[in-house]
Amino acid sequence: MKNLDPARAKWIRFRMGILCGVMTLGLGGFVSSAFRVQVEDAQAWKETAENQRLRRLHIVPKRGTIRDRNGATIAASVEVPSVSVDVAEILRGVEGKPAQDAALADAAPRIAAALNLDANEVAQKLATRRRFVWLKRRVTAEEAQAVRDLGNAKRTPKPVRGLTIEGEGRRFYPGRELAGPLLGFVAPDGFGKDGLELSLDEELRGRADELRGLRDRTGRLIFSEGHTDESSLAGHDVQLALDEGIQHVAERELAAAQKTYETKGASLVVVDPATGEILALASTPGYNPNDYKEFEPDVRRDRAVTDRFEPGSVMKAFTVATALAAGTLKPTEKIFCEKGSFEIGNVTIHDTHPHEWLTPTQILAQSSNIGSLKIALNLGESGLYSGLRRFGFGETTGLPLPGEASGVLRPKGRPWVDVETANASFGQGVSVTTVQLAIAMSAIANGGKLMEPVLVKRITDTAGNVVREWPPRVRRQVVPPHVAKMVSEMLTAVVEDGGTGVEAAMDGYRVAGKTATAQKVDPATGKYSMDKYTASFVGFVPAERPRLVIAIVLDEPMIGRYGGDLAGPVFRRLAEASLRYLGVPPDHVSPKLKAVTRADDPADATLLAMKPEPKPAAPVATPVTTAGPPLPSDVQVPDAAGLGVRDAVRSMGSAGLVPVIDGTGRLVRQTPAAGSPVPKGTVVRLVFEPAS
């Protein structure tokens, strides 16, 4: 710059200074930004980078299996295919928005046709242009194959990229309706709803986890950070005390009783009194958990644990046991039963059959309300209340089932007055559940020991290691063993000559039990209804060495009323089948009946009609009788013309015939015709049509 004009040189130095200053400021800003990005905001940018290059796969573990006591599977998870799409894959290599829109418009109807979906619905999902979109979950095998063909270049001239078939777990119940209200169901989100699926959801569902891996520019997983053992995430398996065989028979008998007697509902519980294990817990109407959406919530509830009802005369057994244990009653003491009518306060109590002097055994056998209330009044309000509480009434049994009712023993905050004590002694003014009755009767059958009810025996992991176990446990000694033995003997009189439960008597086994026919309260009037009843029977067999305690409750039967007539035959048939199934031989001690003859139970005809029809045999030429009286073993088909369904079924059942119903309304045709001589057990087809 020495050769330059001083003024010009000064100007050049000035400009260079300005340029260096600007460059210095720019470099400072760059360094500052780099410091902020690499040091101050390093964690945030690191997460952004990982999100771009890493892919997180959400692993849903396999839900645990539910098995019965013998290892039979009653609820399991199976893999079913579901279809998703990566829209970016469909558009890979397609440049320009018009071309991409055309590619999506071409793919949508082809995908919809393969999956039997609406094309507009598929087009809306593709329009989101997301990397992951569910197209259809739990597809059929045919739909899955159609998707594979759609993406196979060898089978399709113009394959659709980005379609993925993934396995998803779906809950499957091989027994269909078997124990449906007890098991509950699993929603599409994988969470249990209702029943054991809900109460044991945390154990069955397992532990969800995420698997991370690198992905390429198309989003495909190319490297995993590490392999997670799927079995370590899987849910635990559950083994129940339930016996699938006994449960099946229980539900079959209960369904037959509901159809025959036209009940509003029914419930049944079978218990092993020695261990407290629940062998069967049935409720009807039931439902199929595989198709739970087709059933209303009211049908899905487990009536055996959620429904409260006034037990009626069943409570007399526990009243007598409490009084014997307290020493206020002697087993041979005679009590005057007022010839069937007794006034207490401003209420008059009646017996179905008038009696004078009865022993405690006769009070139970004849089901005397007056005899029971006199025992309770002599025992005292506090003695009766504490005795019934010791049997477990007024509190939940502790079963792992949602919505279990505790029942109501008495109003809060005050003791019973005399009339309430009297009513409670024969099961009025209190409410219980079916499972409470079964567990309480188990205490009498088990020498006075109230067992903790066991529905879940153990929970194990996938390796078979026991995570949790429920061994038999005595909750408390309710009454002394000798008192329990005395009451057991007294209850055998209920199913012997003169008792109310002769329909429950069995050949080769002595049965101990108690019947009940309880009026229901009409919610509209607050008074006891004259036509709505609860019929029940609770008993155990064999009486000397009890193996089964069975409680049956029929809610609002339309045909018949009395617990001995309706619930007694259900007990007998279920007990006979269950004892044969368990291999319990008859003790050859016949019940004290003049003759073990049964009234024709119409439920027998219903059970026969429920059996699958046998394959038709080859026709055999037989002579046709056209005239003359029926043979001694034959019956004449009743004339049911014009009758409704209920009356026609009752007419055929009383004649020993099996009715098969077709249609509704009034009977217009029956085959064989009325008056025809046919053997007992013949199927009669009844055709009904609505009245015009």
Residue 630 forms part of a structural domain: yes
Residue 626 forms part of a structural domain: yes
Contact 437, 460 (CB under 8 A): no
pLDDT score of 230 more than 60: no
Residue 53 forms part of a structural domain: no
pLDDT score of 282 more than 90: yes
Radius of gyration of the chain (CA): 37
Any idea what DSSP says for residue 627?
Answer: S
Q: Do 335 and 471 belong together in one domain?
A: yes
Residue 328 forms part of a structural domain: yes
Domain boundary among 483, 500, 517: 500
Residue 227 forms part of a structural domain: no
Q: Do 477 and 354 belong together in one domain?
A: yes
CATH number at residue 643: 3.30.10.20
Residue 582 forms part of a structural domain: no
Residue 31 forms part of a structural domain: no
Any idea what DSSP says for residue 37?
Answer: I
CATH number at residue 391: 3.40.710.10
Domain boundary among 500, 516, 541: 500
Residue 636 forms part of a structural domain: yes
In single-letter form, the type of residue at position 60 comes to V
The total of other beta-carbon atoms located within 10 Å of residue 651's CB is: 20
Integer Cα distance of 123 and 111 in angstroms = 9
**What global pTM score does this model have?**
0.75
In single-letter form, the type of residue at position 88 comes to A
- The number of domains in the chain is 2
Q: Do 493 and 617 belong together in one domain?
A: no
pLDDT confidence bin for 636, thresholds 50/70/90: confident
Q: Which residues span the domain enclosing 632?
A: 612-689
Residue-wise pLDDT for 489-536, tens only, equals 999 999 988 889 999 999 889 999 999 999 998 888 888 888 899 999
Name the range with the highest mean pLDDT among 59-68, 468-477, 669-678.
468-477
Contacts of residue 314, defined as CB under 8 A and 6 or more positions apart, other chains included, come to 427, 437, 514, 515, 516, 536, 538
Where does residue 517 rank: exposed (0-12), middle (13-18), buried (19+ CB within 10 A)? buried
Identify the pLDDT of residue 51.
61
User: What angle do helix axes 315-326 and 369-379 make, rounded to 10 degrees?
Assistant: 40
Q: And the tokens for 291? A: 């198709």
Q: Which residues on neighbouring strands pair with residue 468, listed in sequence order? A: 459
Nearest to 134 by CA among 124, 145, 142, 148: 124
pLDDT score of 244 more than 70: yes
More confident residue, 663 or 640: 640
Residues annotated catalytic, as ranges:
313
Integer Cα distance of 186 and 77 in angstroms = 10
pLDDT confidence bin for 632, thresholds 50/70/90: very low
